């Protein structure tokens, strides 16, 4: 059985799930399509808002119990998991408040007659999601699309099945009709079959470049609109006037939150020569002060990685980096704990010909680069296949904004680590993907912008 909860702290298999049959897939398609037909003219929004309101209440009421499911699935700290549940509840509030406004017909001003655009559902959405934020990733596509009237079939990562099922059960408990969100434990071929089905009109994936390419290929073959939220190798540019004390306070969050397994966590720190030595010293202080241990213990500050496979992949990347000339400033030693822990590691001297230069290292590894003038930092930040979420840190806000405007990136944060809020569009450029989730932009990704036009006689 491919779908399993293997607790990354204890390495024990806690749950295993049977793969879905083709009959279950067909039942999900039938139920979803039936709902789409009921909802496509805009009907049922009041009831759907009530479901999402209830979902928000349930998330808040069961916060710790739900958080624990995620921690057991993929190892994240219980406090971080609780924060994730809260964030999902905030998506419920935001979209319930805004759904009427976002779905209202939009008048088009033309001298030739009367025109307006209806915002309508398009059909079932096939969502393929990763393990690193098990609830958040589902919530940010399900909540807006359910309000739009697009039912969703979910294929979640094979290592967080218990979280995926818990979220789907919660949606059902909140009163959503059967077919609104169907979580299926399916294989890649079944994902392809679902995408090819004419009842499915949209595909969204959050995951790696590899997964994104495979699923986007299926979507393209079948001419299905798709959005791709992929990886990042994001830069954190420290400007020469940065306040190092303020900066030191965000290092942990920017790189080690969720054991460094965040698409938008800063992976490449690009530091001016006047602050380089001090930056490394501060980063080492932060990295060496973490407490690894049971992620359910609230005193633990660094969680295990999500799986043995992920840890081995990261170790291989660090080994490759070092074999090709990178220096280990801190870390890269075995951790004497049974779980999938990776010692926080700081690498320097990664040159452009190092194979890891343009790779995402998805775990607690920081790469530090030195620059002399700001243009060099901008060029280095942009010298990447990815473009997801970068950070600029500096006291002169005008300079920071000016640098931000020159970064090839879907998102840039100034003087803070990465973040995600319901009203802020989330997504990337280049190999970090296309399309946006959250905000009004994400809400309308799978909306049929249906023009109605009545020319004047």
Annotated catalytic residue 209: no
Helix (H) or strand (E) holding 369: strand 365-371
CB of 132 to ligand NAP, least distance (A): 5
CB of 350 to ligand NAP, least distance (A): 19
Q: Cβ closer to ligand NAP: 207 or 293? A: 207
Positions touching ligand NAP (CB under 6 A) are 128-132, 155-158, 188, 191, 205-208, 210-211, 214-215, 229-232, 263, 360, 362, 388, 426, 428, 432-433
CB of 22 to ligand NAP, least distance (A): 16
CB of 282 to ligand NAP, least distance (A): 26
CB of 45 to ligand NAP, least distance (A): 27
Tokens of 135: 């609830």
Annotated catalytic residue 408: no
Total residue length of the chain = 457
- Give the N- to C-terminal CA distance of the chain in Å, as an integer: 65
Catalytic residue, chosen from 263, 360, 437, 445, is: 263
Q: Cβ closer to ligand NAP: 2 or 118? A: 2
Using a 10 angstrom Cβ sphere, with 0-12 exposed, 13-18 middle and 19 or more buried, the burial of residue 117 is middle
For the stretch 399-407, contacts whose Cβ atoms lie closer than 8 Å and that sit 24 or more positions apart, written own/partner, are 399/239, 399/241, 399/374, 400/239, 403/237, 403/239, 403/374, 403/377, 403/378, 406/378, 406/382, 407/235, 407/237, 407/378, 407/381, 407/382
Residue among 179, 129, 175 nearest 29 (CA): 179
The DSSP string of 99-128 is HHHHHS-EEE--TTEEEEEEEEE--EEEEE
Catalytic residue, chosen from 218, 229, 360, 445, is: 229
Contact 59, 85 (CB under 8 A): yes
Q: Cβ closer to ligand NAP: 141 or 321? A: 141
- The CA dihedral of 208, 209, 215, 216, to the nearest 10 degrees, is 140
Using CB positions, name the residue nearest to ligand NAP: 211
Q: Cβ closer to ligand NAP: 82 or 360? A: 360
Q: Cβ closer to ligand NAP: 103 or 259? A: 259
Active site residues: 229, 263
């Amino acid at each position: 059985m491919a779908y399993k909860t293997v607790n990354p702290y204890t390495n024990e298999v806690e749950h295993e799930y049977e793969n879905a049959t083709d009959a279950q897939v067909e039942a999900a398609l039938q139920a979803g399509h039936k709902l789409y037909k009921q909802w496509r003219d805009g009907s049922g929004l009041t009831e759907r808002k009530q479901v999402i309101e209830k979902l928000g209440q349930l998330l808040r009421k069961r916060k710790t119990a739900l958080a624990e499911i995620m921690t057991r699935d993929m190892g994240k700290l219980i406090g971080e998991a609780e924060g994730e549940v809260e964030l999902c509840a905030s998506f419920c509030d935001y979209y319930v408040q805004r759904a009427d406004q976002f779905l209202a017909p939009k008048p088009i001003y033309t001298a030739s007659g009367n025109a307006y655009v209806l915002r309508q559902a398009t059909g079932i959405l096939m969502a393929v999601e990763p393990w690193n934020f098990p609830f958040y990733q589902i919530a940010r596509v399900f909540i807006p699309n359910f309000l739009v009237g697009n039912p969703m079939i979910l294929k979640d990562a094979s290592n967080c099945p218990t979280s995926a099922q818990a979220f789907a059960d919660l949606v059902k408990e909140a009163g959503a009709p059967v077919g609104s969100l169907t979580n299926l434990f399916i294989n890649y071929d079944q994902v392809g079959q679902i995408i090819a089905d004419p009842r499915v009109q949209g595909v969204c994936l959050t995951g790696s470049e590899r997964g994104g390419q495979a699923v986007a290929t299926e979507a393209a073959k079948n001419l299905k609109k798709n959005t791709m939220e992929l990886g990042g190798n994001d830069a954190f540019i420290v400007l020469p006037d940065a306040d190092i004390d303020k900066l030191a306070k965000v290092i942990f969050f920017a790189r080690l939150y969720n054991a460094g397994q965040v698409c938008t966590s800063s992976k490449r720190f690009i530091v001016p020569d006047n602050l380089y030595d001090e930056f490394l010293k501060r980063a080492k202080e932060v990295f060496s002060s973490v407490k690894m241990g049971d992620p359910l213990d609230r005193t633990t500050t660094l969680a295990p990685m999500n799986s043995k496979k992920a840890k081995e992949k990261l170790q291989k990347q660090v080994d490759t980096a070092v074999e090709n000339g990178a220096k280990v400033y801190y870390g890269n030693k075995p951790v004497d704990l049974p779980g999938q822990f990776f010692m926080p590691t700081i690498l320097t001297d990664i040159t452009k010909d190092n194979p890891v230069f343009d790779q995402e290292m998805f775990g607690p590894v920081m790469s530090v680069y030195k620059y002399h003038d700001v243009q060099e930092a901008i060029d280095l930040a942009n010298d990447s296949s990815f473009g997801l979420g970068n950070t600029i840190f500096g006291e002169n806000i005008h300079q920071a904004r000016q640098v931000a405007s020159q970064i090839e990136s879907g998102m840039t944060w100034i003087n803070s680590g990465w973040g995600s809020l319901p009203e802020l569009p989330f997504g990337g450029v280049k190999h970090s993907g296309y399309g946006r989730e959250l905000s009004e932009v994400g809400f309308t990704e799978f909306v049929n912008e249906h023009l109605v036009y009545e020319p004047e006689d």
